[in-house]
Structure 1
Amino acid sequence: MMINNSESIREALKVYFIMGSPNCKGEPAQVLKEAIEGGITLFQFREKGMGALTGVSKYELAKELQQICKEHQIPFIINDDIELAITLNADGVHIGQEDEDVANVRKKIGDKIIGVSVHSYEEAMAALGGGADYFGIGPVYPTKTKEDAKPSNGTKLIQELRMKEVTIPIVGIGGITAENAGAVIKAGADGVSVITAISHADDVTEAAKSLRKNVLESL
């Protein structure tokens, strides 16, 4: 599935689900299928944290989840592992400030999607200059998923970028739930990205549905 213009990326960011095996209570493939049924619009494979798979096991899980995304026409993005993204011909990658330089990643993956986590106006401008397709901004609210997460900053940076007429697609991340998703959209984000709000839900499909409903109502 090829989405490489900012309007199609903006659409895809609405309900952005991030997950790897350490984030799931059940089988990752089943969790992903249920999340797709609930209406997620983009999926990022992020295999990090305690007990994360590596090597062949990581590759096989990525391939299985990518196949599910293909069948349902959901863009499939890989967190941080550029080589894996190239091997699998993923739809794109998402990188953080500690990862490889955006311009280098762009050279490696051509016209695929590059998302970049940014925490300040300066980081945002540098990522834009390097060829980023969208920004992940957060943590908007406190989060326990990332052990090294920066302090939550609310929607301040999203609002600042929009006030300065930065039009790149933006997704908010960190501590987002169906209840607070609307505020993130109203601040100027095009979508919200979540991990545990979906992957730890008792009913994954319902959790995704309720997140999607609140995002769409706030756009």
Structure 2
Amino acid sequence: MVRRLTVTWHLITTNNCPFHIQVRQLRHALKNINIIHVRNKEASLQRLKQQVDQLCKIGLRHDQIILNEHAEAAAAWGLGGVHLPSNSPLTAKDIKRRAPGLQVGASVHSLEEAKARAEEEVDYLYYGHVYPSASKPDDPARGLEALQSVAASVRTPVLAIGGITRSRLGEISRTGASGIALISGFWEAEKPEEEAVHFNCFGQMNYEAT
């Protein structure tokens, strides 16, 4: 049976905070977490497996976890999916041919990239960065109009990423985006568990906006 990832919000792990601290914060927010995207480009597969195991120990299911880029490892560990960076040469069709149960997402930064990845039959797209982002200070934000254009042009669910905060959820929901993906909006919050409650309401906001 093919597992389906809930498209509401994805929380991406951060390299700006020790992983054991992230796990501690997640314990208090677990009931409002849909999907955890484990992204650590510098880590070995052994270290990534340790991080996945830590997440499962606090109550996350394997199918709630996405691994960045390492498709074979994601399939071998029974995870819910793999996420492809925009410059990845891998395609969703190739991955699904080898691992039919694995969901595949991809990052895109333009309408053309979104259409190309959609044709590969990815299960969702991250589009951004939508707002100015501290992690990309020299790269202009793409804005809500561009997000709306992408969401309207592909049938693939589109998640907004980049500068996502609680106060911006309403306007994002009106673009037709299916969800949100974030890093600092959660990890840098004073009370991450309270932020998770609001981010988890995005699906209801999206429903009311349509």
State the TM-score, normalized to the length of structure 2: 0.84
Query: Greater RCO between the two (CA within 8 Å, min separation 6)?
Result: 1
CA displacement at 1:198 relative to structure 2: 1.0
Give runs of aligned pairs for residues 78-97 of structure 1, distance below 5 A.
78-97=67-86
Letter paired with 1:121? L
CA displacement at 1:180 relative to structure 2: 0.6
For structure 1, the 5+ residue unaligned runs are none
**Which of 157, 170, 182 is equivalent to 1:194?**
182
**1:103-143 Cα deviation digits (max 9, x unpaired):** 33333332311111112222112111212011111101111
Q: Is the 2:9–2:202 Cα contact (8 Å) retained in structure 1?
A: no
Other-structure match for 1:32? 26
Q: Structure 1 residues 96, 55: closer, same or farther in 2, change over 3 A?
A: closer
Take 1:16 and 1:202, find their aligned partners in 2: how far apart are those partners? 19
The alignment of Structure 1 onto Structure 2 pairs a total of residues equal to 205
CA RMSD of aligned residues (A): 2.6
CA displacement at 1:149 relative to structure 2: 8.1
Aligned to 2:24, what secondary structure does the other structure show?
A: helix
Other-structure match for 1:43? 36
CA displacement at 1:152 relative to structure 2: 1.4
Other-structure match for 1:211? 199
Q: Structure 1 residues 55, 148: closer, same or farther in 2, change over 3 A?
A: farther
CA displacement at 1:17 relative to structure 2: 0.9
Give runs of aligned pairs for residues 7-86 of structure 1, distance below 5 A.
9=5, 12-20=6-14, 22-23=16-17, 27-37=21-31, 39-48=32-41, 52-67=42-57, 68-70=59-61, 75-86=64-75
Letter paired with 2:3? I
Identity of counterpart residues, as a percentage? 23
Take 1:26 and 1:172, find their aligned partners in 2: how far apart are those partners? 27
Q: Structure 1 residues 130, 137: closer, same or farther in 2, change over 3 A?
A: same
For structure 2, the 5+ residue unaligned runs are none
Take 2:50 and 2:184, find their aligned partners in 1: how far apart are those partners? 22
State the TM-score, normalized to the length of structure 1: 0.81
Letter paired with 1:120? S
Aligned to 1:155, what secondary structure does the other structure show?
A: helix
**1:176-216 Cα deviation digits (max 9, x unpaired):** 00001221111011111111111122211111112334653
CA displacement at 1:150 relative to structure 2: 4.4
Letter paired with 2:12? I
CA displacement at 1:34 relative to structure 2: 2.3
Aligned to 2:36, what secondary structure does the other structure show?
A: strand
Take 1:148 and 1:131, find their aligned partners in 2: how far apart are those partners? 32
Give runs of aligned pairs for residues 144-163 of structure 1, distance below 5 A.
144-145=134-135, 150-163=139-152
Aligned to 1:136, what secondary structure does the other structure show?
A: strand
Aligned to 2:164, what secondary structure does the other structure show?
A: coil
